[in-house]
Amino acid sequence: MADTAHLPEAFTAETEPAALEDLRARLRATRWPDAPEDAGWSLGTDVAYLRELVAYWADGFDWPAQEAWLSRLPRFRVRLGGLGIHFVHARAAAPAGPVLPLVLSHGWPDSFWRYAKVIPLLTDPGAHGADPADAFDVVVPDIPGFGYSDRPGRPLDSIAVAGLWAELMRVLGYERFGAAGGDLGSHVSRYLGLDHPGRVVAVHRMDGGLPVFTGDPADLTPEERAWFQTVAEWGAAEGAYGAVHRTKPQTAAFGLTDSPAGLAAWIVEKLRAWSDCGGDVERRFTKDEILTNVTLYWLTGTIGSSMRMYHANAAIPAAQHARRVEVPSGFSLFRGDIVRPPRAWLERTTNAVHVTEPPRGGHFAPFEEPELYAEELRAFFRPYRTAATGT
């Protein structure tokens, strides 16, 4: 799969002014839908809020400043499996002991943006009031079809992405490493543990994924059966986006690729619904932060390719879902996240050695609560540092 002859090259993104002018013109020309009186967010994205956000996007948002903020991270591109892969590679700043390499996998609807705040806390814990011995070398790739990575001609599933990440870590000189992620990145991290157990010292995840169980339901605990019912109810009320992504992503891609307001509506509704914001999305994300995420999707044209990964994952055989992760696994189930699994399910499906329930944060905890998320990773991976370095 890998093109091992290729070496990483430094990467800097710089948007052409014409692309920003086109974006602003489209925003100003938005054709707005009506909405029932007092609908608010009950039927999807609130029209009044999106009008406010789009007005700021068109006339107040400073993308070059945000682009520069993202460029403070050491970013690279490398060719693997015939695809250009964009990634952050930030080395431990002042290590005081064994340094654990850590690959962080993002989800949807985001990119390497998910970890932009937490990377400095992980590479230089001493500068942020934590133990310098907990420093990581951090690698944050964009999944193919997301961010600045190439869009694959055929959608890749989480198994294939895990294979790419294993090769990426080898190219970077890391034979053994830790893996962590949430959302789609939780799936990728799971398959890193399943398919590369000799290289992955431990796996940390923010969720247990949506459950797939082909056994006898009588074998499930009462807590697991109740969770399955909760997941089904959540899917009926909140899962329409996923059904679109799994079945007809290309149809939605036309409108979302053509209309920046439509793209913002598709993404912002999830930032609000899945974060620990109490119904006010700007309790967790400033307008600049929201629009940085959305603008990344707009400028790279990746909303369609990102959604197609759901279609690829839907074709993963049930036998893959039934495999148990035997490498040590940890879970941080943040209070505001969706469909949080019971411990019985985590122990059924993984070698769960560490499960916590942080009191704040949601689906995007690395961005919502970077300090808390960093501490979760430090605590979980602390016993596995010497396993990765051989010391």
Confidence check: pLDDT of 387 > 70: yes
Per-residue pLDDT tens digits for 271-300: 999 999 999 999 999 999 999 999 999 999
Confidence check: pLDDT of 2 > 60: no
Confidence check: pLDDT of 187 > 60: yes
Alpha carbon distance 335, 157 (integer Å): 28
Alpha carbon distance 62, 313 (integer Å): 36
Helix (H), strand (E) at residue 76: strand 75-80
Q: What angle do CA 27, 33, 34 make, to 5 degrees?
A: 140
Task: Provide the pLDDT for residue 367.
Answer: 98
What is the pLDDT of the chain when averaged over all its residues? 96
Confidence check: pLDDT of 388 > 80: no
Q: Quick one: fold of 9-32+73-389?
A: Rossmann fold (3.40.50)
Phi (first) and psi of residue 88, to 5 degrees? -90, 135
Question: Is residue 269 within 8 Å of residue 43, measured between CB atoms?
Answer: no
Confidence check: pLDDT of 391 > 60: no
Residues 6+ apart with CB under 8 A from 154: 312
What average pLDDT score do residues 2-13 get?
A: 77
DSSP symbol at 140? E
Alpha carbon distance 14, 148 (integer Å): 12
Q: Which two tokens stand for residue 204?
A: 């940390």
Closest to 349 (Cα-Cα) out of 221, 201, 162: 221
Task: Provide the pLDDT for residue 386.
Answer: 83
Question: Is residue 15 within 8 Å of residue 64, measured between CB atoms?
Answer: yes
What average pLDDT score do residues 160-166 get?
A: 98
What average pLDDT score do residues 248-261 get?
A: 98
Task: Provide the pLDDT for residue 390.
Answer: 55
Task: Provide the pLDDT for residue 389.
Answer: 66
Task: Provide the pLDDT for residue 214.
Answer: 86
Whole-prediction pTM: 0.96
What average pLDDT score do residues 245-250 get?
A: 98
Alpha carbon distance 341, 359 (integer Å): 16
What average pLDDT score do residues 162-179 get?
A: 98
What average pLDDT score do residues 224-244 get?
A: 96
DSSP symbol at 80? E
Confidence check: pLDDT of 4 > 50: no
Closest to 87 (Cα-Cα) out of 176, 150, 16: 150
Taking the domains of the chain in order of start, what are their residue ranges? 9-32+73-389
Beta strands 350-356 and 200-205, pairing class: unpaired
Catalytic residues: 183, 310, 363
